[in-house]
């Protein structure tokens, strides 16, 4: 009885959190597209006389050690962080899906070799693998995006391979082969559409992880050099001032946390909707 009564409350909470997540993501996207509408201060130039000012009506997020407005730097840093995040997910999606589809459809020794490579990649923590790739490519936000994307390829490849293995034995695939349809057309018209649903759901879930990875690598100094505003770099610049200026690292960190939580919430909704279909 109690579970029945609690069901409407849970549904309302589900709807509220979903809408709050959507609002947060829309706001972050608007920051990235139109930063000047939300922040009127210069993110690169500050007044040393205003250094380490706490949050106030003038400086919503306070100021940093050079007197720069942290709110402006956070808003202007959104574009660079989101671009790297989206690019990394696209790399992982395209490379992982194509390699998984190829291995799953061809089978045989290619599939065996593919699975051994995937097992090795899955055994290495993604962030550690991304750091190793950056060491080869060099520093920079673009290289961070490539490294994070390549470190997530194994996850997409394994999922797409499993979907292909399940689809290639279906009757409509066998019928297409028997009617003389080429391998490329069979994959494009019959197998790939069935594999894309779960893969796109995974891409939505990977957005939050990619954002955390990009910010973490930026914090470690692998990304954009100062004074470029970037979310991970903002936190790194304030780590020596935690005791004297808590807002320096805390408020940009809260923005990252809220964005990741909103992304995961929307991704969970998309995944649930795709499973119901």
Q: How does pLDDT run along the chain (277 residues), one tens digit per residue?
A: 444 444 455 566 667 888 999 999 999 999 999 999 999 888 999 889 999 999 999 999 999 999 999 999 999 999 999 999 999 999 999 999 988 888 888 878 888 888 888 888 888 888 889 999 998 888 888 999 999 999 999 999 999 888 888 877 666 666 766 666 666 677 777 677 777 778 888 888 899 999 999 999 999 989 888 888 999 999 999 988 988 899 999 999 999 999 999 998 988 887 777 665 5
Judge contact between 73 and 229, C-beta under 8 A.
yes
Q: Per the structure, how many domains does the chain have?
A: 1
The two three-digit tokens of residue 41, written as one number: 């201060």
What are the residues facing 69 on neighbouring strands?
Answer: 63
Assign residue 176 a region: left if phi > 0, alpha if psi is -120 to 50, beta otherwise? alpha
Residue 9: domain span? 2-276
The CATH number given to whatever domain includes residue 126 is 1.10.3720.10
pTM (two decimals): 0.88
């Amino acid at each position: 009885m109690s579970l029945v009564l609690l069901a409407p409350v849970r549904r309302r909470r589900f709807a509220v959190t979903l809408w709050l997540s959507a609002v947060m993501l829309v706001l972050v996207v608007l920051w990235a597209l139109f930063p000047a509408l939300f922040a009127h201060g210069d993110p690169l130039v500050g007044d040393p006389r205003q250094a380490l000012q706490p949050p106030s009506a003038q400086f919503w997020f306070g100021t940093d050690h050079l007197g720069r407005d942290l709110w402006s730097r956070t808003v202007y840093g959104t574009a660079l962080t989101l671009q790297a995040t989206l690019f990394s997910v696209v790399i992982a999606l395209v490379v992982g899906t194509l390699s998984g589809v190829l291995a799953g459809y061809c089978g045989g020794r290619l599939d065996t070799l593919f699975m051994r490579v995937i097992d090795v990649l899955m055994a290495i923590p993604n962030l550690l693998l991304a750091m190793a790739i950056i060491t080869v490519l060099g520093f920079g936000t673009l290289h961070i995006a490539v490294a994070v994307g390549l470190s997530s390829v194994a996850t997409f490849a394994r999922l797409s391979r499993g979907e292909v293995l399940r689809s290639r034995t279906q009757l409509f695939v066998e019928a297409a082969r028997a009617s003389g349809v080429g391998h490329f057309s069979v994959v494009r018209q019959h197998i790939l559409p069935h594999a894309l649903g779960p893969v796109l759901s995974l891409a939505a879930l990977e957005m939050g992880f990619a954002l955390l990875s990009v910010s973490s690598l930026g914090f470690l100094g692998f990304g954009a050099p100062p004074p470029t505003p970037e979310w991970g770099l903002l936190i790194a610049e304030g780590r020596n001032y935690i005791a004297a200026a808590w807002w320096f690292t805390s408020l940009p960190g809260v923005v990252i946390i809220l964005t990741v939580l909103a992304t995961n919430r929307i991704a969970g909704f998309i995944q649930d909707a795709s499973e119901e279909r």
